[in-house]
């Protein structure tokens, strides 16, 4: 069982470059999420998609865009990367509802120079 798959696992960018982080889940989940993890700050929600066809801002959306391509895939785009976006990015998915546990990918470690 693959669960939640994130690509790439590591990436180094220069300031101003753009890139898209990919996420796919094979659990037939309705909801998908993008988080960033920084030391001492836990996980902060960037964007989420409660169901296919909808996306909403989370706690820290500035500098990011998302696309819910279909039920399986939810991508995160950095249009013009900044050093402050150096972080570990996690994608998660769940069945719809706040009582549903989220299942996480292994993360993308992104460094912006």
Partner 1 sequence: AQSVTQPDIHITVSEGASLELRCNYSYGATPYLFWYVQSPGQGLQLLLKYFSGDTLVQGIKGFEAEFKRSQSSFNLRKPSVHWSDAAEYFCAVGASSSNTGKLIFGQGTTLQVKP
Enter the tokens of residue 109.
């470690």
Round to whole Å and give the CA distance between 52 and 70.
6
* Sites for partner 1 among residues 6-65 (CB under 8 A): 31, 33, 35, 40-45, 48, 50, 56, 58
Q: How far is the CB of 109 from partner 1 (least distance, A)?
A: 9
Enter the tokens of residue 73.
């895939």
Beta-bridge partners for 13: 112
Rule CB under 8 A: is residue 94 a binding residue for partner 1? yes
Round to whole Å and give the CA distance between 94 and 96.
6
Rule CB under 8 A: is residue 106 a binding residue for partner 1? yes
Rule CB under 8 A: is residue 89 a binding residue for partner 1? no
Q: How far is the CB of 36 from partner 1 (least distance, A)?
A: 11
């Amino acid at each position: 069982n693959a669960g939640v798959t994130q690509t790439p696992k590591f990436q180094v960018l220069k300031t101003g470059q753009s890139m898209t982080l990919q996420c796919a889940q094979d659990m037939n989940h309705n909801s998908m999420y993008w988080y960033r993890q920084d030391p001492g700050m836990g996980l902060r929600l960037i964007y989420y998609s409660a169901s296919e066809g909808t996306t909403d801002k989370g706690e820290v959306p500035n500098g990011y865009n998302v696309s819910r391509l279909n039920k399986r895939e939810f991508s995160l785009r950095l249009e013009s990367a900044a050093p402050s976006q150096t972080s570990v990015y996690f994608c998660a998915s769940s069945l719809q509802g706040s009582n549903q546990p989220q299942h996480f990918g292994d993360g993308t470690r992104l460094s912006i120079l």
